[in-house]
Amino acid sequence: METEVIQIAEHNIDEASQKSLFRAGKVIRDGGLVAFPTETVYGLGGDALNPESSRKIYAAKGRPSDNPLIVHVADMEHLETIVKEVPESARKLAKAFWPGPLTMIMNKNDKVPYETTGGLDTVAIRMPNNQIALELIRQSGGFIAAPSANTSGRPSPTVARYCVEDLSGKIEMIIDGGQVGIGLESTIVDLTSDVPMILRPGYITLEMLKEVLGQVDVDRTIIDGNSGQRPKAPGMKYRHYAPKGQLTIIQGEQSKVVEYINLHAKEASESGKKVGVIGTDSTKSLYHADVIKSVGDRKDEKTIAHELFKVLREFDDENIDIMFSESFDDSGFGQAIMNRLLKAAGHNVIII
């Protein structure tokens, strides 16, 4: 299959772009797949109410079919038509955070096929805050099932180039809307339990959710990689966001971290490996390795989130065998950053 790539500027959707979005919508209505930008990461979209489309999504990503998809909507009325009931908590959160990087899990009704929910009776729903995404959802009938637009197991794409790399030849269309704003996937909160529970940390933090709902729990498996429990979001059990090389996180006092990384980078280099380091603006110049990248200012979590998946992909592009990364503060939005970094490292952390 030939994959068409079209460019659209999010803040300048002119007549030609409208026409392209109409065509993209028709591809989805006809059962095809379109990769598109959201404010978090690029999504791989198909008609959420068409079981055949969901099957195609799993096939294109090489994703296990027990891992449910998120349904993207563009207005509240549409949400009402695919769930048993909209809980009061969902209305409050939608008012506070939609459109935005928050996915809510509710009880589905018969309109949503089990192919989309990986066999579950619940459905994950979000309204993305991106004009291209919202218009595409409207043009395609109102419900787009979209996982991140990467091959299963690879870091989520934050630019269209990486969708092309992973999905070219496998889907009908890719909409290039430039680099995404946030760079990490949405926060997922389960509203089907007595106390709402965060299943995946993201830009909308525990503190922000508590401000609206009062009590909110966090799935233990997010915090403790060795808890031995099964994550409640099926996708969180997979070794996700994985770069091709081996990544180790080094945690400790900054000067010791730099010393440790330099020593081990040298050893790895001497044994013929290509070594990469993930540092920050203030430490970048202190490292010696084949490739050294900064994810930004340590205090600027938005930039770190924005850069992380891109940097991991760049190390892949440069065929890096061994990577070392500094560790980051894991409170607030930092919890999402550390969750993704730990998964990318397969929870391989050295504390010094």
Report helix, strand or coil for 8: coil
41 and 202 Cβ atoms separated by less than 8 Å: no
Plot region of 346 (φ>0 → left; ψ -120 to 50 → alpha; else → beta) = left
Tokens of 215: 């009590």
Residue range at the interface with ligand TXA (CB under 6 A); choices 180-188, 213-221, 309-317, 324-332: 180-188
For ligand TXA, give the closer residue by CB, 232 or 293.
232
How far is Cα 53 from Cα 8, in angstroms, rounded to an integer?
Answer: 24
For the four alpha carbons of 161, 154, 152 and 158, in that order, the dihedral sign comes to: negative
Shortest Å, Cβ 75 to ligand TXA: 16
Selected range binding ligand TXA among 1-9, 232-240, 262-270, 324-332, rule: CB under 6 A? 232-240
Query: Minimum distance from CB of 281 to ligand TXA (Å)?
Result: 27
Determine if 123 is a binding residue for ligand TXA (CB under 6 A): yes
Instruction: Report the partner that residue 186 touches, choosing among ligand TXA, Mg ion, none (CB closer than 5 to 8 A by kind).
Output: ligand TXA
Near ligand TXA in 320-339, by CB under 6 A: none
Rounded to the nearest angstrom, the gap between the alpha carbon of residue 139 and the centroid of all alpha carbons in its chain is 24
Query: Which residue in 17, 103, 294, 339 binds ligand TXA (CB under 6 A)?
Result: 103
Q: What residues between 192 and 211 interact with ligand TXA by CB under 6 A? A: 199
Number of residues near Mg ion (by CB under 5 A): 1
349 class by beta-carbon count within 10 Å (0-12 exposed, 13-18 middle, 19+ buried):
middle
Among 87, 178, 225, 234, binds ligand TXA (CB under 6 A): 234
CA–CA distance, 111 with 83 (Å, rounded to integer): 8
Instruction: Give the DSSP H or E segment for 303.
Output: helix 301-317
Instruction: Show the tokens assigned to 207.
Output: 């503190």
Q: Does 148 contact Mg ion by CB under 5 A? A: yes
Cβ-contact 8, 149 below 8 angstroms: no
Query: Least distance (Å) from ligand TXA to the CB of residue 72?
Result: 6
Q: Which of 120, 164, 212, 218 binds ligand TXA (CB under 6 A)?
A: 120
| Residue labelled with tokens 């296990």 | 64
Instruction: Candidates 86-94, 145-153, 248-256, 328-336: pick the segment binding ligand TXA (CB under 6 A).
Output: 145-153
Q: If residue 334 lies in a helix (H) or strand (E), which one and from where to where?
A: helix 334-344
Residue 212, H or E segment: helix 206-213
105 near ligand TXA, rule: CB under 6 A: yes
- Which residues sit at the interface with ligand TXA, rule CB under 6 A? 38, 40-41, 43, 67-70, 103, 105, 117, 120, 122-124, 126, 128, 146-148, 185-186, 188, 199, 232-236
